Structure 1
């Protein structure tokens, strides 16, 4: 999207709704000036942004290509086929469904396709790094199904596969989920697949956080191990806010019927188009280099934080994500996250395994490197970022004022030298 086109759209929005236009510009400035380190956030390219804001948002397209319930699909069918074919090629999957609105509906489709209310399902416990939709109590999946949860070892912070196997053989779940939202280590898909096969369960690999790393070959792929793969299309994949389901031909019909008509009506065609763009971008050497840089940045940042005395869950990271346990600092995770936000470093407070604190005010913070890597920051910047984080948390602990403002000014200066993709702020 050219700068002139962006300016035209800003002018159109300003004329139609000045209040909303002002909020959009404020968010642009915020994304431009701050160090965004929430692991699930990233910057899309100008091309992805253009597709998301295209006239494809005007279309209704219930059904699938060649089998629609609306006419006028001469363009929409090729758009969806393009996204599906690119997803299959990139991840080497036999079948792809690109219609789920987001990650949670994609996971809900797995329950509709392969289980019935009251059945037993198994996933990583939320406080251990799992996702709400993997059978946790406050989710519909924990209300409609009997959730069995596995965790991580206290001493290593890693999955104990002896425990997973014991639980699976005792509970005999219909579905086992692997993956999660705060898992800093490589997911052993082969080990989960062996257990699922022994327990007679369907294995769903939720790779929402690591899809870009898998696509680039810097994290092992679940294809060939998991029966179905669920993923969002943003995060490390750098696409729009959407989701996909990947599977073999034997599960294609059940997956497609669960998404439509089981859970959804018409797909969001502008999102489908943007997914297609992101999938094309993910085939490039530039993207593969990006994914390698994400992991390198995370590893260096973890090393620097450890050197400053911070406790990292599992002792470090293999991926894009770092989970910091602040219990030894005397600073709560929520307080730390808010202080860092005021300092221009955007993270989220997060529970850590065996956390004694409540979920809304936990002991940890969760950091990630996808967005800062998209802006061109490299391992040489990680010591400075670790130093900023330490300065803010230490000042908060000691009750010293002025540090957050100082760090925010320094962050703003660094970010000015590394423009954010797709963000039209000079």
Structure 2
């Protein structure tokens, strides 16, 4: 419950304390990322209050006019950049989150109630929510499986597809060290059930796909691609759906009007800014660095005696690493608590493919975005291993993480003395000044 004595000063103080802590710590949760101050700016301004529905800019469809002045920051910035970087003719920026995009795709492409969809089994990294969401839409669910946690059995897939003739194959790696071979899976689908659609949920891989570090599933033959925009892509917490098929795009659009009301217009503008930064300020280099840093960090932890999954395969092909600290004598929750005290934020969880109990899941995506490189990772590995083992005072380790963040913090992609930067600061200050609560006068008129 909220303490009745809490004031606005208390709220601002808590937010300020959190910001200070965030600048001294390092987030290594693979499903989260940072974004630039410029990309966050629209969320502080008037577009955060507005609906925007008139994507065609038709003069008779401006029923909500609050976003009219800046609507091209969606239609002329975010959407064209997604088409360019995602190599797709059709884009929806309506989904609010990865799970919302999943629901939209299953509703639009999964067929009528009673139809069957096929998705990835949990033991092969499939998302926990997909079967339940599909079932709540009246869809039957079958599972793609494999002999190990990082590959699918295509012979089993062919038998399954021929038997159930699903409306949709929904590829949804959530726990993922290595990407599914989309081209081979699509070839199998086309051979035995050609009417079946293939959608790839690339939430975890999205920044690596847009940056060219991973092959684009649309190039591999998938009918559609989607996912959240805040994991390997350093953008806002929302999601997108891309396709090259006009009929499929129409199905998505016909469905989204009934599943998404406000699509958070300001976040969509923020996505456009993040895409522009990604294209013009090193997105492909960032994507390559994420993969290189992840594999290197896996080796560094392995060399320090931490049990890292998939050591025989180079630990990872993307941004995630899975640590079996239980085998090293430290319960995953205890390891996560120690790491937190040392200024490092990680996941601990059950359900990692190949694990019998809980494991620690980490990502190098935000560390890379924050600017860590080279010997920074050697220092980070030393701190990480010492924290897991509690072999050095955790307060001292936290100081080393804070020092690491100070040395590597990434600035804005423009000169901080430029007029662009100064104008952005002025907008922030003006927004704060104009959002103070005004108490009504005795006559009921605000001053």
Is structure 2 residue 151 aligned with structure 1 residue 158?
yes
Give 1:173 shift.
2.4
Give 1:151 shift.
4.0
User: TM-score of the superposition, structure 1-length normalised?
Assistant: 0.85
> Which residue is equivalent to 2:421?
none
The C-alpha deviation readout for 1:143-166, integer Å capped at 9, x for no partner, is 443222334434x74333333333
CA distance in 1, matches of 2:41, 2:292: 30
Give 1:76 shift.
4.7
Is structure 2 residue 216 aligned with structure 1 residue 217?
no
> Which residue is equivalent to 2:430?
none
Q: Residue 132 of structure 1: SS of its match in structure 2?
A: coil
> Which residue is equivalent to 1:255?
252
User: What is the aligned residue count?
Assistant: 393
> Which residue is equivalent to 1:23?
14
User: TM-score of the superposition, structure 2-length normalised?
Assistant: 0.81
Give 1:113 shift.
0.8
CA distance in 1, matches of 2:411, 2:405: 12
Query: Would you say the 8 A contact 1:109–1:258 is kept in 2?
Result: yes
Is structure 2 residue 28 aligned with structure 1 residue 37?
yes
Tell me which of 152, 168, 171 is aligned to 1:175: 168
> Which residue is equivalent to 1:338?
337
CA distance in 1, matches of 2:121, 2:340: 28
The C-alpha deviation readout for 1:301-346, integer Å capped at 9, x for no partner, is 0111222344433331111111223342233323322221122111
Give 1:352 shift.
2.0
CA distance in 2, matches of 1:409, 1:163: 52
Larger radius of gyration: 2
Q: Which structure 1 residue ranges, 5 or more long, are not aligned?
A: 1-15
Alignment of 1:72-221 (within 5 A): 72=65, 73-82=67-76, 83-114=78-109, 115-135=111-131, 139-143=132-136, 144-154=138-148, 157-197=150-190, 198-199=192-193, 200-221=195-216
Alignment of 1:247-326 (within 5 A): 247-248=243-244, 249-260=246-257, 262-284=258-280, 286-315=282-311, 316-326=315-325
Query: Would you say the 8 A contact 1:158–1:314 is kept in 2?
Result: no
CA distance in 2, matches of 1:415, 1:168: 49
Give 1:385 shift.
2.1
Shift in CA distance, 196/337, structure 1 to aligned 2, threshold 3 Å: farther
Give the root-mean-square deviation of aligned CA atoms: 2.3
Give 1:50 shift.
0.8
Is structure 2 residue 406 aligned with structure 1 residue 407?
no
Give 1:59 shift.
1.4
Query: Would you say the 8 A contact 1:57–1:270 is kept in 2?
Result: yes
Q: Residue 147 of structure 2: SS of its match in structure 1?
A: coil
Query: Would you say the 8 A contact 1:46–1:421 is kept in 2?
Result: no
Give 1:205 shift.
0.7
Q: Which structure 2 residue ranges, 5 or more long, are not aligned?
A: 1-6, 413-424, 426-447
Q: Residue 241 of structure 2: SS of its match in structure 1?
A: strand
CA distance in 1, matches of 2:33, 2:98: 16
Q: Residue 379 of structure 2: SS of its match in structure 1?
A: helix
The C-alpha deviation readout for 1:340-390, integer Å capped at 9, x for no partner, is 112211110133224333xxxx2x111111111122111422233222222
Give 1:220 shift.
0.6
Query: Would you say the 8 A contact 1:337–1:348 is kept in 2?
Result: yes
Alignment of 1:52-91 (within 5 A): 52-62=43-53, 64-66=55-57, 68=61, 70-72=63-65, 73-82=67-76, 83-91=78-86
CA distance in 2, matches of 1:335, 1:146: 39
> Which residue is equivalent to 1:5?
none
Give 1:48 shift.
0.2
Q: Residue 236 of structure 1: SS of its match in structure 2?
A: coil
Query: Would you say the 8 A contact 1:37–1:367 is kept in 2?
Result: yes
Shift in CA distance, 153/165, structure 1 to aligned 2, threshold 3 Å: same
Which one is further off, 116-125 or 40-49?
116-125
> Which residue is equivalent to 1:8?
none
Q: Residue 60 of structure 1: SS of its match in structure 2?
A: coil
Q: Residue 48 of structure 1: SS of its match in structure 2?
A: helix
CA distance in 1, matches of 2:308, 2:158: 26
CA distance in 2, matches of 1:217, 1:22: 41
Give 1:276 shift.
0.9
Shift in CA distance, 285/60, structure 1 to aligned 2, threshold 3 Å: closer
Q: Residue 417 of structure 1: SS of its match in structure 2?
A: helix
